[in-house]
């Protein structure tokens, strides 16, 4: 027991162990050399120090792809990611009569590859540098909105300098909730094409019934290819573009995983909240998860209803529907997992133990500068007060966020009006997301809207969201929103019918023309939706300023909490990783099954036998006839598992993952590619908040299944050869 715990035990009669498991960790690349002993003990055979180099294999091959992760698997820009990560690209190329979501797609050669959706981006990280001192110097002595603005201004200046290098997309991200800042430099690849995708009956076999469940039998993978201009620089789509040559690509192992093997994963996880305050845990469990899931379920029902009436609407909303279903089920699983792990009580007790340590034993380590315990406690109390203020409008914020982010045409109108406002300012003073550097992406989003919008469906979604808004307490209402849509259902219905009947924004050329129009002309437009967005803009700006005021204070004050947490961990001789924030992270562990409950033990590997067992002939268990025939034939060749004597499909590890890790490559002890991450099990969906080693498992496609499908079922031998695993003959 550490000395501090012995002292605390004498004073308080308690000393709680840290809530960290041996395999927990989404580690920054720069932390990995320090973990060399643990990595070697776990079975890693390569040099751990090399993992800190973002410009060399294996990490140089791992990229941010769309909303997830991907990995280059050839020297010609061939990119492996999940079917569900590329789902929007597949949907973009689908239409009634040629539904590639249902049929799948396999390009015969590079010239047959299909243009991706305009807003799909691949980001290749080639720089990751600490800029903390510069950013915080700009904010010194400031508070609230002034603090937020100072951080924002300094970050924009750093980004502008970084993006002077052609083709780069740069950002400044904070670690530990404002304690540290890093500049991330990424090559932004805009021409990304569809190369290979299995039918959805393979890529999402079991769909929402099997989502987050084990055993799984999904071939959740797709292949894309990144292209650049003739000069080798990122470019918009053009037939003359050539394949991108990545700095590194992964080697696919011909051998598959077995129980107990070392495994490592690299990717761009979304956001985790494990270092949030106990009060935030409580609100998430007591309100946030159930409220979010219930709202999405209502929207799911509407899209399914409208899709049943209109096949074209069903295709256009397929990607959004899949996202809603995934998130709703994830929220339910997260709540169940947090309750199962008793996370609220454990997080509260751990926090109280940390605060007790801070009061009685907390001190600065030698050579470190930090706040004294009293000032830290004062800052933590202020953070609690700010969080309580934010909770006062949480119901409205949930509904308003859905209105602004989950509509298509209304969101476009709001975006165009905000862009018109920002275009009247010097670029450095524009709001982030509306600078000149962002206009290409905004244009891409406005273009692709044409294939993801249906007027009837959008109005139905808005009617439901406005109903929820009307049911809010009067204190959460906004006068401008009340004036725009009325106070009853019939007024809302007739208003929406009038707005959507009169707007011209459904025409792509009209939308795009607003990007070139004079800002004053956009603001004064008589288009129904643009005029509505103009009327709502002052309210949205006011709410934004309030949010920035609060976020500025949180950025200033939260680091005190993190410093105390780090000190507590350090005192118990344990490393601590920052919460995930869409930056490159690495986790390591082993291939491992688990026991979800008494009397049930899951093995870590599934085989094609499970596909046949689950097959009902009806969606979502309608295995394609070619797949069933190939399984019956039993010609698995060198992709069969030698011990099992059959073809494997998916496998489990205890790797630490969350949303955004979809498409992350899974490597063996030699750094070779053995799997593709695509899911978590139901019992561990809550891992974004709480890691429970008893249940935390990640679900991966076995790359041997990919090879077999591309050889025997839906052949693409030229791609197997390109990936260095030619089909056996």
Closest among 413, 370, 351, 321 to 14, alpha carbons compared: 351
Of the residues 4, 171, 592, 662, which is catalytic? 662
Whole-angstrom distance, CA of residue 170 vs CA of residue 591: 36
How many whole angstroms separate alpha carbon 360 and alpha carbon 320? 51
Give the three-state DSSP class for 27.
strand
- β-partners of residue 27 are 586
Q: How many CB atoms lie within 10 A of CB 460?
A: 19
Pick from 205, 540, 557, 615: nearest CA to 385: 557
Residue 220: active-site member: yes
Residue 574 DSSP SS3? coil
Q: Are 406 and 299 in contact (CB under 8 A)?
A: yes
Q: Which of 83, 84, 217, 249 is catalytic?
A: 84
Q: Say if residues 688 and 296 touch (Cβ distance below 8 Å).
A: no
In the annotation, is 662 catalytic? yes
CB 592 within 8 A of CB 654: yes
Residue 217 known to be catalytic: no
CA 511 to CA 508: how far, in whole Å? Answer: 5
Question: How far is it, in rounded angstroms, from Cα 520 to Cα 421?
Answer: 8
* Euclidean distance between CA atoms 131 and 414, whole angstroms: 33
Helices 373-391 and 528-571: angle between axes, nearest 10 degrees: 150
Catalytic residue among 220, 527, 571, 650: 220
- 568 close to 354: Cβ distance less than 8 angstroms: yes
CA end-to-end span of the chain: 61
SS3 458: helix
> Could you tell me which of 330, 209, 164 has the C-alpha nearest to residue 680?
330
- Token pair 């009685």 is at which residue? 360
Phi, psi of 618 (to 5 degrees): -125, 145
Q: Report residue 434 as tokens.
A: 């509306």
φ/ψ of residue 130, rounded to 5? -75, 130
Q: How many CB atoms sit inside 10 A of residue 474's CB? A: 6
Residue 564 burial by Cβ neighbours in a 10 Å radius (0-12, 13-18, 19+): buried
Q: How far apart are CA 282 and CA 554, in angstroms?
A: 18
> Which residues are identified as catalytic?
84, 220, 662
């Amino acid at each position: 027991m550490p000395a501090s715990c012995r002292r605390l035990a004498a004073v308080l009669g308690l000393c709680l162990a840290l809530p960290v498991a041996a395999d927990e960790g989404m580690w920054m690349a720069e932390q990995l050399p320090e973990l060399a002993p643990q990595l070697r003990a776990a079975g890693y055979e390569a040099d751990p120090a090399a993992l800190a180099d973002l410009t060399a294999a294996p990490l140089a091959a791992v990229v941010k792809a769309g909303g997830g992760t991907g990995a280059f698997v050839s020297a010609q820009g061939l990119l492996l990611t999940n079917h569900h990560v590329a789902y929007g690209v597949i949907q973009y190329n689908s239409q009634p009569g040629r539904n590639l979501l249902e049929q799948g797609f396999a390009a015969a050669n590079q010239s047959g590859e299909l243009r991706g959706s305009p807003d799909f981006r691949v980001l290749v990280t080639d720089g990751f540098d600490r800029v903390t001192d510069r950013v915080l110097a700009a904010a010194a002595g400031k508070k609230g909105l002034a603090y937020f603005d100072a951080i924002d201004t300094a970050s924009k200046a750093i980004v502008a300098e970084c993006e002077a290098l052609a083709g780069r997309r740069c950002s400044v991200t904070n670690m530990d909730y404002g304690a540290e800042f890093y500049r991330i430099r990424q090559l932004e690849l805009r021409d990304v094409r569809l190369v290979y995708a299995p039918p959805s009956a393979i890529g999402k076999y079991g769909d929402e019934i099997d989502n987050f469940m084990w055993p799984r039998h999904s071939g959740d993978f797709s292949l894309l290819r990144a292209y650049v201009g003739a000069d080798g620089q990122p470019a918009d789509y053009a037939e003359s573009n050539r394949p991108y040559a990545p700095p590194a690509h992964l080697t696919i192992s011909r051998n598959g995983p077995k129980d107990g093997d070392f495994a490592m994963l690299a990717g761009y996880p979304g956001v985790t909240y494990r270092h949030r305050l106990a009060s935030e845990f409580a609100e998430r469990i007591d309100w946030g998860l159930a409220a979010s899931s219930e709202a999405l379920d209502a929207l799911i029902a509407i899209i399914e209803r409208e899709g049943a009436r209109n096949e074209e609407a069903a295709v256009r909303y397929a990607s959004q529907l899949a996202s809603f279903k995934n998130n709703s089920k994830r929220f339910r699983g997260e709540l169940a997992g947090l309750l199962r792990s008793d996370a609220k009580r454990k997080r509260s007790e751990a926090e109280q133990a940390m605060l007790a340590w801070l009061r009685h034993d907390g001190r600065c380590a030698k050579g470190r500068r930090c706040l004294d315990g009293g000032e830290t406690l004062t800052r933590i109390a202020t953070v609690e007060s700010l969080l309580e203020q934010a909770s006062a409008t949480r119901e409205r914020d949930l509904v308003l966020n859905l209105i602004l982010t989950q509509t298509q045409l209304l969101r476009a109108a709001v975006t165009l009006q905000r862009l018109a406002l920002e275009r009247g300012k010097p670029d450095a003073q524009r709001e982030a997301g509306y600078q000149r550097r962002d206009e290409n992406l905004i244009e891409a989003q406005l273009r692709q809207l044409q294939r993801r919008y249906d007027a009837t469906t959008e109005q139905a979604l808005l009617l439901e969201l406005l109903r929820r808004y009307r049911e809010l307490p009067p204190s959460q209402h906004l006068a401008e929103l009340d004036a725009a849509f009325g106070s009853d259902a019939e007024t809302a219905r007739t208003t929406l019918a009038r707005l959507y009947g009169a707007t011209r924004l459904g025409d792509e050329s009209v939308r795009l023309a607003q990007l070139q129009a004079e800002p004053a002309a956009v603001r004064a437009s008589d288009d129904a939706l643009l005029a509505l967005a103009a009327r709502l803009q002052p309210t949205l700006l006011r709410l934004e300023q309030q949010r920035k005021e609060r976020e500025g204070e949180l950025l200033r004050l939260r680091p005190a909490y993190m410093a105390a947490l780090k000190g507590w961990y350090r005192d118990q001789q344990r490393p601590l990783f920052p919460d995930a924030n869409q930056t490159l992270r690495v986790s390591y562990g082993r291939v491992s099954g688990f026991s979800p409950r008494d009397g049930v033990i899951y093995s870590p590997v599934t085989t094609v036998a499970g596909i046949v067992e689950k097959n009902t002939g009806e969606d979502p268990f309608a295995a394609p006839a070619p797949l069933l025939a190939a399984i019956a034939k039993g010609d698995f060749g060198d992709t069969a598992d030698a011990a099992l004597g059959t073809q494997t499909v998916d496998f489990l590890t205890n790797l630490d993952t969350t949303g955004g890790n979809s498409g992350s490559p899974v490597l063996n002890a030699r750094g070779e590619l053995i799997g593709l991450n695509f899911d978590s099990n139901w019992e561990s969906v809550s891992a974004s908040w709480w890691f429970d080693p008893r249940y935390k498992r990640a679900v991966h496609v076995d790359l041997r299944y990919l090879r077999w499908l591309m050889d025997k079922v839906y052949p693409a031998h030229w791609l197997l050869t390109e990936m260095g695993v030619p089909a056996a003959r």
